[in-house]
Structure 1
Amino acid sequence: MNKTQLIDALAGEASMSKSDAKKALDAFIKVTSDALKSGDSIALIGFGSFGVSQRSARTGRNPRSGKEIKIAAKKVVRFKAGKSLTDKIQ
C-alpha cells in the first residue's frame, strides 16, 4: 500500500474527505518525525511504539570487490509492534 492508497483507505474508514485524510496523515508524519528527531519515543497502546536507537560503527565488506569498508555509526528508527497489532495479523 502506498501513501495515496493509505489516504484513500483512511478517508473511507473515517468518513472524511481525501484532503482531510491527507492533512491528518501529513501531520502525523511531521509530529512523529519531529518527536523522534528530538529523542522522544512514541507509544500507541495496542499498535506499537516508535523509537530511536544508536547503531555503532562497524566494518563491512563491499560485495562487488570484497574490500573491507568502514560503516559509520548512525541513529536508526525502530518500530516495535504492539500485542493487538501482532494478534490481528496472525
Structure 2
Amino acid sequence: MTLTKSRIIDSVQEETGLPRKRCDELVEELLEIIKETLANGENLMVSGFGKFCVKEKKARKGRNPATGDDLMLDERKVVTFKCSQGLREKINGS
C-alpha cells in the first residue's frame, strides 16, 4: 500500500490532535521547503531517516524504445536517496 499525502496528514492529525486544516498546512509547508531546497541544488539530510542528494547527469546517447532511433538525452538533474543506518536496520528488522 502506498503512503499518500492524505494519509500523512491524517497521521499528523491523530498524533498531534490539531485540526485537519492546520495539519494539511503543516505538511504542505514541509513539502514546499523540501522542494525548494532540492530545486536550489542543495542536499537535504533528515537525521535518522536519510539524505536526498541532487546529482547532475551529463548529456548522453540514448535510444527511443518504440522506434529504435538514436537520440541525445539532455543533461539534467536527478534526486537520489540514501537511507540512514537506523532506517536500514528498521527495514531489515535488525
Q: Which category of TM-score, normalised to the shorter sequence, fits these structures? A: 0.7 to 0.9
Deviations 1:21-69 (A, max 9, x none): 2111111111111112222222111111122110111111111111111
1:62 and 2:52 are equivalent in the alignment: no
Question: Partner residue of 2:33?
Answer: 31
Question: Partner residue of 1:49?
Answer: 51
Please, which runs of 5 or more residues in structure 1 have no aligned partner?
none
Aligned-partner residue type, residue 87 of structure 1:
E
CA-based RMSD of the aligned residues comes to 1.4
Runs of 4 or more off by more than 6 Å in structure 1? none
Residues in 2 aligned to 1:25 and 1:38: alpha-carbon distance in whole angstroms: 20
Residues in 1 aligned to 2:69 and 2:76: alpha-carbon distance in whole angstroms: 22
Question: Partner residue of 2:77?
Answer: 75
Residues in 2 aligned to 1:31 and 1:55: alpha-carbon distance in whole angstroms: 24
Count of matched residue positions in the alignment of Structure 1 and Structure 2 = 90
Question: Partner residue of 2:22?
Answer: 20
User: Given the two structures, how large is their TM-score scaled by the length of structure 1?
Assistant: 0.87
Aligned-partner residue type, residue 63 of structure 1:
P
